[in-house]
Chain A
């Protein structure tokens, strides 16, 4: 196989591009020098990442492509994606829960019994009594999640005999995290459940270690997408229509600024255009998902997506801890903090952890104005409505540029406009439908009736289930982030991405706080 020769024919790029293969700059350097730890949790995380990175070999660690599969196992485009893509399963599961909750509400019942969650507690006695009284409900809830997720997972290709024990671990740990997070002094010790879940997962996967087969149940994307569909049930459709245009405007300014910065700094440093585009999309749109979408659209080398993944994952984990801390230090209202996190955090799941943590800090004691919902809603509007849904258009535009400008010599290539739909993050469809269903369900209720009748029976249980889905997700991020296994990124990609991150953070701050601050701080009022 004339692999190297054909690659040289096939790809455009200069020999200097291979400079991307220098060791990851964090290795042997101080992560604290890049983002200084502000609290013990962040410090512990920094030490953990630094220790792992220090031990990395100075060579590339891209795994060879496992050719144990065959062309017959390839997935083909078409409507089979309705059951072959996680996005659609998140839509089916999320909407089914919303509809069941709505029909039970209409018949004067509720899913409240199975949407059980720990109550706030002050003493261990209170915690123990609450837990023991709810054991049957927790078991029923576990059974429901297990049946639904195992069924969907089996169709997506995850064997039940691996998925079930793995999900049992996820549920038990999530229960412990949610109980710890229900302690009334948890926020004083930075024990918000999202950050606690992430940290616990990171420690387990990087210090203790788990067998690889257990990854079957650590499905970050599956859980976060299901949670986002359920989140739609807590967001009135009128609010999406009212705040959506500002979210799109703000996100577009930052996305374009970030992408161009990464792309042109990368080019200036001598990186390949396809790598610059892959990195730029990761920083500008929706993190790892955007990187792989654009990598496919521009025909990137197989080494390029792992470089982008490494940078997005490590930056996302640093920001998930530091953005809430900086927002807290600046005493930003929760709506503004959520908008900034939505603009500047790279990955959906990590950003949700940060936004949910920051929302949980709202109280007179902390001096942070607003509500927990404002942080989540502002985050979701910016991230999902403002950034995620445009990934297909980014990929299409970049594929046109790739074909017409970067690889003119490649014969037969055509940009496929249909990818705008095929790459569309379909869970957004579920998010919008859930919002429409609940907006329809609560029409005609005044504030008093909503608070007394609708909220406890309909929306609060759905919010509780959403919180569970997000906890599964945050824990799974930690459990699947094995720092030693991440690809070595190289010095130049690191600096290109860092330049974009700086622009992203600054622009995001200015727009969230100074330009649209009033809009985000009063979101939903």
Chain B
């Protein structure tokens, strides 16, 4: 499995040279929500999940900021993390 610190999108903040991409939690430096593979805008979610708008919504609070990982094809939390992280 590739490391987050390798490759052209290594997760390195170009401004500081360090992995300082934070989610809303100070303890979390990297997370899926900051990854180039992550999509969570309501329109994308509603298009991906047929029937969602019939009894819920892409803009519902219960969905928090979850989104789709285009690399692994899973639906997961903004705060999730994996070794394939690539900075957006």
Contact = CB atoms under 8 A, between A and B. Distances in A.
Contacts of B47: 63, 65-66
A107 interface: no
Interface in A42-88: 61-63, 65-69, 71-78, 81, 84-88
Interface stretch (A140-148, A294-302, A354-362, A363-371): A294-302
Most buried by B among A81, A157, A289, A426: A289
Contacts of B84: 6
B50 to A, nearest CB: 5
B62 A425 contact: yes
Given A6-B71, A77-B64, A296-B75, A412 B52 contact: no
Interface stretch (A178-186, A309-317, A372-380, A513-521): A309-317
A422 B64 contact: yes
Given A71-B38, A485-B50, A81 B75 contact: no
A10 B72 contact: yes
B33 interface: yes
A399 interface: yes
B65 A77 contact: yes
Contact of B70 (A67, A75, A288, A480): A67
Contacts of B56: 220-221, 287-289, 292, 309, 347
A293 B71 contact: no
B81 to A, nearest CB: 4
Contacts of A266: none
Contacts of B48: 63, 65-66, 302
Nearest to B42: A157
Contacts of B68: 65, 302
Contact of A302 (B60, B74, B81): B74
A242 B39 CA distance: 44
B88 A299 contact: no
A9 interface: yes
A323 interface: no
A69 to B, nearest CB: 5
A77 B55 contact: no
Interface in B39-88: 39-45, 47-57, 59-68, 70-84, 88
Interface stretch (A130-138, A413-421, A439-447, A462-470): A413-421
Given A71-B39, A306-B49, A391 B62 contact: yes
A414 B55 CA distance: 30
B51 A310 contact: yes
Nearest to A306: B49
B65 A75 contact: yes
Q: Tell me the interface secondary structure of chain B in the complex.
A: loop
A111 interface: no
Main secondary structure of the interface of A (DSSP, over half): helix
Given A74-B39, A296-B77, A85 B61 contact: yes
B57 A221 contact: yes
Nearest to B23: A77
Given A289-B60, A299-B76, A77 B71 contact: no
Contact of B41 (A73, A297, A399, A424): A73
B70 A312 contact: no
A223 B71 CA distance: 35
A77 B78 contact: yes
Given A10-B74, A412-B82, A309 B61 contact: no
Interface string A1-23: 10100110111000000000000
Interface string A452-474: 00000000000000000000000
Contacts of A73: 39, 41, 44
Contacts of A76: 24, 33, 65, 78
Contacts of B50: 61-63, 306, 309, 482, 485-487
Given A10-B74, A67-B70, A299-B77, A77 B60 contact: no
Most A C-beta atoms less than 10 A away, residue of B25, B52, B82, B83: B52
A219 interface: yes
Contacts of A486: 50-51
Given A11-B72, A347-B56, A414-B28, 7 more contacts: A7-B74, A68-B44, A77-B78, A312-B55, A412-B30, A426-B61, A485-B50
Interface of B: 1, 23-25, 28, 30, 33, 35-36, 38-45, 47-57, 59-68, 70-84, 88
The 9 closest A-B pairs by CB, nearest first: A296-B66, A71-B88, A221-B57, A288-B56, A87-B61, A347-B55, A412-B81, A293-B62, A309-B51
